[in-house]
Structure 1
Amino acid sequence: MKVLVHLQDYGDVQFRENEFAGTHGKSLRLEGFRIQIAPNINNLGLRYMAHLQGIGDVPFVNDGTFIGSRGQSRRLEGFAIELRGSQASNYNVFYMAHLEGIGNTQFFTNGQFCGTRGQSRRVEAILVQLQRK
C-alpha cells in the first residue's frame, strides 16, 4: 500500500505500508489522503470516503484519488475504505486512526466507518493494511 496524507504544517507526505501515516503526540491534523494498492493486484481496487470538518461525509472516490482538502485548514474527522473488483472477496482491508483526545482506535474493516462525526475531533494519523484471506 502507498498512503499519502496532507498533514498540517507539512503538506503532502508519503508513507510506507504498515506505517502510521501522520503523527502521534504533535496535535497535527490530517486534511486529506490518497491510498493506492502497491504493488498492483489485478482486478483488485479500493474506494474510500471521508468525513471533513464543515462539510460532513464526502462520497466515495476510487483508489489513487486525493480526498479531503489542501490549504483550507480543514480537519479530517473520519473515513472508511472498501475493496472492489473481482478479487475483493479474496482480501480484507484493515484500517485504524489516531484521534485527538482518544488515541489509537481499534481496527476497522471493509467499509466500516473509522473516526468520529459531530465531535470536532481531528484524525492525526491513519494506518492501512491489505491482507489476503
Structure 2
Amino acid sequence: MGTFYSLFLQVFQYYKTRIPRHARKIALIYITLVQTLAVLILGVVLSKFLKSMHMTVINSFQAWVLFAVIIVVLYFNNWMQYTGRKQAIKKAKYNASKSEKRHIMSLWLIPILGIVLSIILMKLDA
C-alpha cells in the first residue's frame, strides 16, 4: 500500500464519521495538496540549483503555468484513482491489514510544514 493512499484513507476515515457527505472530497483535496507541495518543493530546489549553475531553462511565468497544469493533472488523476470500484477493493485490503493510525493534527501538519519549507526555500539566495 502506498504512502499517499494510506494518508488518503486515514483522512477519509476520520472525516467519514464527522462529515460523511464531504469526507471523500476533503480527503481528495488533502492528498492533492500533499502531492502538489511535494512537486512545489522539488521544483523550487531544482530552480535554485539551476540558478546557481547559471542555467535558464524556463522563465518564472512559464514555471508557474506548468505548476498550475500539474495541479490540475494531479487532481484529476487522484479523482480517478481514489473513487470507484478500484478504491473499494483497496479500502477493503487496507481495513484488513494492521496499519498505524495517525492523529488528524499530525496529518494536517504535513501540508503546513510543506508550505513553510517551500516558502523558506523560495527565500534562499542561490
More strand by share: 1
More helix by share: 2
Q: TM-score under structure 1 normalisation?
A: 0.24
Higher Rg: 2
